[in-house]
Structures are given as structure tokens and as C-alpha cells.
Amino acid sequence: MEIFVLTLPGAVERQASIERQMKALGLPFRFFYGVYGKDISPEQKARVFDADKSRRAIGYEMSANEIACAYGHCLIYREIAERGIPEAVVIEDDAVLHGDLPRAIEAIESKRLTAPLLVKLEKEKEFKRNRWRRMPLFDDYVAYRPIQGVYLTTIYYLTLEAARRLSRDAFPVYVPSDFFAYTCRRVELLNVNKSLALQDALERQGIHTRVK
């Protein structure tokens, strides 16, 4: 299982934090460098962003930072597809990781999944689940199909076929990276019932067994 940590060239403190957590969990990973919104030239923006489709989909034109974030995730999808990586986990560099993450990755990996599937490993605050579609992981961790929109791209798992479809369906960028209702129309989306990571900004809400 390849693990990508999406970061930016100058995000030294975030990189140090996530590297410390990953080492404590014994998880090999590599940094994947995205781009700053301010560094996207008008010419590059015209290549990577579909303004008309964006306005039709969400009613406004995305900010430079939203475009850059979504583009970074798309670049990871493209690398997975081009290299033929069977399955991967994507983590944003501000994640606060849970100590059970290695067990979750091992549980998913043991299933040898090949269908176009994306599993969000961070529980939504207001998460409504479809109990008829569930994928047990381990202990009381279960991934369910959500019956309402889910957001946040802090941490997720995806298969090669999901990456192939997302690299086509989500590019050129037209919605923020976490608008899964748009980008995952040809990819099955599941969401865990207990968070295996949180955004650092949400840490105040608490996470069981934080990695020190």
C-alpha cells in the first residue's frame, strides 16, 4: 500500500508533524508536493481549471487556493493511474492521526479490493449511513455508504480503478477537492464510522488515542 502525504514545498512545520506521527506508527510514506494557489499563472489556470463547468456545478468560480488544493489531489490520482499502483492512501499534511490507522490499512489491504472504490477514513460530523452497504474493517470499525453528501479530504483510501476514473472525472478541476458528490459519480464512496485522523484545525473536537 503506497501512502502519499500531500504537502507544499514550504510547509516545514506540517511536514515535521506528520513525519513524526507516521514514524511513530511505523508507516512508510512519501511527500507529494502540490502547488500554491498564488503560484498558478493565468496560463496554467486555463489548463487545469474549467471555470464554466465550475460555475454551472457550484454557482461560483473557485479561489486560487481551492483550485490548487483540488489540482494537488488530481495529480496524485494521475500518478497512481500512470504507475498502476493497486491501492493507496492519501493524507493531507495537517492531519492528526489515530493510533489504529495501521490496523485499518492492514484490514483494507487484506481485502484485495479492485473495484472503483474510495473510502474516507475520517468520519463526518453529521454522518448518515446506509446500513445495507457496509464493509467491516476490524473490531468496531466499519465503512458505510453515506446517504448524504460527505466532505473533507484529510485522509482517504482509493483503488487503482478509482484513481483512473477520478483522474478523468475530476480534471480539469471544477469543484473543490472534497466535493465528492460531483467527482465520485463513477466511484463507490464509503465513509468510516470512527475517524482515523482529523484535520489539525478540528483537533479541539477530540480524537481518541492521538499519536504523540
- Better-scored residue on pLDDT, 133 or 47: 47
Pairing between β-strand 141-146 and β-strand 197-199 as defined by DSSP bridges: unpaired
Q: Percent of the chain scored above 90 by pLDDT? A: 79
Q: What is the reported pLDDT for 125?
A: 63
Tens-digit pLDDT profile for residues 89-143: 999 999 999 999 999 999 999 999 999 999 999 987 655 666 668 899 999 999 9
CB-based contacts of 45, cutoff 8 Å, min separation 6? 64, 67
> SS3 for 79-106, per residue?
HHHHHCCCEEEEEECCEEEECCHHHHHH
CA angle at 13 for the pair 206 and 41, rounded to the nearest 5°: 110
**Cβ–Cβ < 8 Å for 163, 116:** no
Alpha helices (runs of H) in 26-176, residue ranges in sequence order: 42-48, 51-58, 64-83, 101-110, 160-169
Q: How far apart are CA 108 and CA 120, in angstroms?
A: 12
Averaged pLDDT for residues 135-152: 86
Averaged pLDDT for residues 174-198: 91
Averaged pLDDT for residues 59-77: 95
Q: How confident is the model at residue 209 (pLDDT cuts 50, 70, 90)?
A: very low
Q: What is the reported pLDDT for 205?
A: 39
Q: How far apart are CA 92 and CA 47, in angstroms?
A: 24
Averaged pLDDT for residues 12-25: 96
Q: How far apart are CA 197 and CA 193, in angstroms?
A: 12
Q: How far apart are CA 66 and CA 72, in angstroms?
A: 10
